[in-house]
Structure 1
């Protein structure tokens, strides 16, 4: 049964994170009541992730691919770009990760409006989804666009308010959540398939470009508005109640958020069915509806587990280790959590499967997963080092992005596109909830300013895969050239046979 396979995959992903937190509870950071909620939240996380993956596979991804093909086959560029903007805007406005990030930012700095932040992020994503689709149609070099737009990003960053720097780069990662990634990636595959050319190279890069839009838009918001600043948020006490009651109390609000996330997507599917996919069979339509239902149920379970168990435990864990243990243990815990948490990101599994499919199996999903683990582990370790030492985010972003952009000149184009997509998908729900909560807890425990010290962790998680995946691509390209050089030429083999 497909669901059992998904449950096995999800359990393999989440259980290592739970085991690490369990170990830390009995050794370095006793969590008290938060441990029971964390374990119960982990069980909900496994169930939600499995059901979500099933729904994305049978409902979201196929429609995205068909819609991309249908839009491109119309040969109407304004229609394609306009649809790209509308899709990017609506899905982002409804993306739960974006609201989680915006709420945490507003809680730390009330001078940054939650609604203004969400609106600017959505506009940025919409514009750059249109740019990404236009790139496929006109066969524009992804490297050229990345160099141009990241140059613009750092120029704007030099003039924005300091409170918006980490938030802007974090927004680029949080945007690419569990609903955005499957649909936009499938849309790109559909457009590339109809457009022709090197479909393997063109199928990727949409997420990487879409992640640029929120960074630029939030930086522009920071240039126009000064944050009020703020102290670390006070930890509100919670009324004592049973474990089941604790999680059930979260269901109504979470269901409303997920429903808001899926409503625009369902509306888009209905529009595609009426205007673009008229030949869709009743069976196919039923599968799409079932996929959306599974996706809804999976995301509700996922976010109830995250909010009820993972965020409180992450905050407590970060605060306890920062206050009571040496700095090296904080950094080491960050490395371990980063390596394990990336495996629980729903969008990571969607990306790695699509990479293996589009590459014809030549790039194994397991290799991409291991490489992402190394990159994200390094990112969270660097974030903890930055929190402990109070170092500026600039010291990490400038050399990191300089190296990532420099590698685009020597890395195979398809791996460059995969790398910039990976940076977005690695910084999904687990990063914007558990990892960010852990970092906020550590910053608060050390008496730092979370708006400048803690925010930026998602930015580092989004940056390091750019380097790790491109390094993998360079090794992959060299191995392919060695195999090609070692292969005997046909005419040489024929001559040898003739001489005998």
Structure 2
């Protein structure tokens, strides 16, 4: 029954998109759709695939995210978190390790990030390494989620973290290569997609539910905001490091002929 309801709901979600696309194609552009059978098969695959994904999401990813948060904060797993014991943020170290690991692994596997990184490498003519871009985004996502779990443990307001992160983004934007800035900002968006968001949301809500004194409504949400921001920071940081290394190589290559010329003249005092 759940599968039927999900298929029907997904169909209702996809129909408006198809209506707009085909409406513009036939009524505004007034041209037939190229490879129409292929397009229709594609829409069918999206409908079926998305429906199965949503069912799997409900039956696996959401429960697993909440279950991991519950198990990692249970006093049976961590005796230091027993009832009445004084709690310290470092007691939740397994939560931070899991958050970092799941953030990096889900981001590396994110289909939208893979597509964007390949397209960026293709358009840049090889200047942007797709794998290095994915690693930079994954590290940013992992750090953002880890920081988000730490914020929930500490109970600190989200706005402090968002303000500090945006301030760092602004400073980096002023100092980063102009060609990488749009890609860096887009990288923050593509990471929070089909695979990553459900696990992050479930982990945050589960953690806020299990930690005493935390509210799922006030503290459980907000991890996705940090998960969006930190990939921007790491991608621009990667670009700045790459630019610095390129400048160093260029300076070294420029100085080499001059040194050779001086040595040829016998001017050893220059060294």
TM-score range, shorter chain: 0.7 to 0.9
| 2: CA distance, partners of 1:346 / 1:261 | 21
Give the Cα separation in 2 of the matches to 1:428 and 1:487: 43
In the alignment, structure 1 residue 316 sits paired with structure 2 residue 67: yes
> Deviation of residue 389 (structure 1)?
1.3
Tell me by how many angstroms 1:376 deviates.
0.9
Structure 1 distance, partners of 2:139, 2:233, is: 10
SS at match of 1:323: coil
What displacement does 1:483 show?
A: 5.3
Cα deviation, 1:93-130, whole Å, max 9, x if unaligned, reads xxxxxxxxxxxxxxxxxxxxxxxxxxxxxxxxxxxxxx
TM-score by length of 1: 0.45
Deviation by residue 1:284-304 (Cα, 9 ceiling, x = unmatched): 222222222222222122222
The equivalences for 1:360-399 within 5 A come to 360-399=125-164
1:484: Cα distance to partner? 5.3
Q: 1:487 to 1:253 in 2, by over 3 A?
A: farther
CA distance in 2, matches of 1:427, 1:457: 11
2:104 is matched with which residue? Answer: 339
Q: Is the 8 A contact 1:254 1:304 kept in 2?
A: yes
Question: For residues 197-276 of structure 1, what are the structure 2 equivalents within 5 Å?
Answer: 249-274=1-26, 275-276=28-29
User: RMSD value over aligned CA atoms?
Assistant: 2.2
Equivalent residue number for residue 166 of structure 2: 401
Change (3 A) 1:279 1:374: same
- Which protein shows a greater Rg? 2
Aligned to 1:278: 31
Cα shift at 1:323:
2.7
Structure 1 position 482, deviation (Å): 4.6
CA distance in 2, matches of 1:379, 1:485: 35
Structure 1 distance, partners of 2:126, 2:3, is 40
Q: Which has the higher contact order (CA 8 A, sep 6+)?
A: 1
Give the C-alpha shift of residue 431 in structure 1.
Answer: 3.4
Determine the structure 1 residue equivalent to 2:204: 439
Q: Counterparts in 2 of 1:45-60, with a 5 A limit? A: none
Q: Distance in 1 between matches of 2:41 and 2:246?
A: 42
Alpha-carbon distance in 2 for matches of 1:327, 1:344: 26
Shift in Å, 1:485: 5.4
Q: Distance in 1 between matches of 2:30 and 2:134?
A: 34
Conserved? CA contact 1:306–1:434, under 8 Å: no
- Determine which of 429, 432, 438 is the counterpart of 2:194: 429
Comparing 416-425 and 474-483, the one that deviates more: 474-483
Question: 1:301 matched to which residue of 2?
Answer: 52
Residue of structure 2 in register with 1:291 after alignment? 42
Instruction: Report the Cα offset of residue 308 of structure 1.
Output: 0.9
SS of equivalent to 2:176: coil
Q: Deviations over 1:220-256 (max 9, x none)?
A: xxxxxxxxxxxxxxxxxxxxxxxxxxxxx43223223
Q: Structure 1 residue 280: deviation in Å? A: 4.4
Instruction: State the alpha-carbon separation in 2 of the partners of residues 279 and 362 from structure 1.
Output: 38
Matched, 1:414 2:179: yes
The alignment partner of 1:257 has SS state of: helix
* 1:458 aligned residue: 224
Q: CA deviation at 1:277?
A: 6.4
1:357 aligns with one of 106, 122, 138? 122
Describe the SS at the equivalent of 1:478.
Answer: helix
Report the Cα distance in structure 2 between the residues aligned to 1:307 and 1:456, rounded to whole angstroms.
Answer: 21
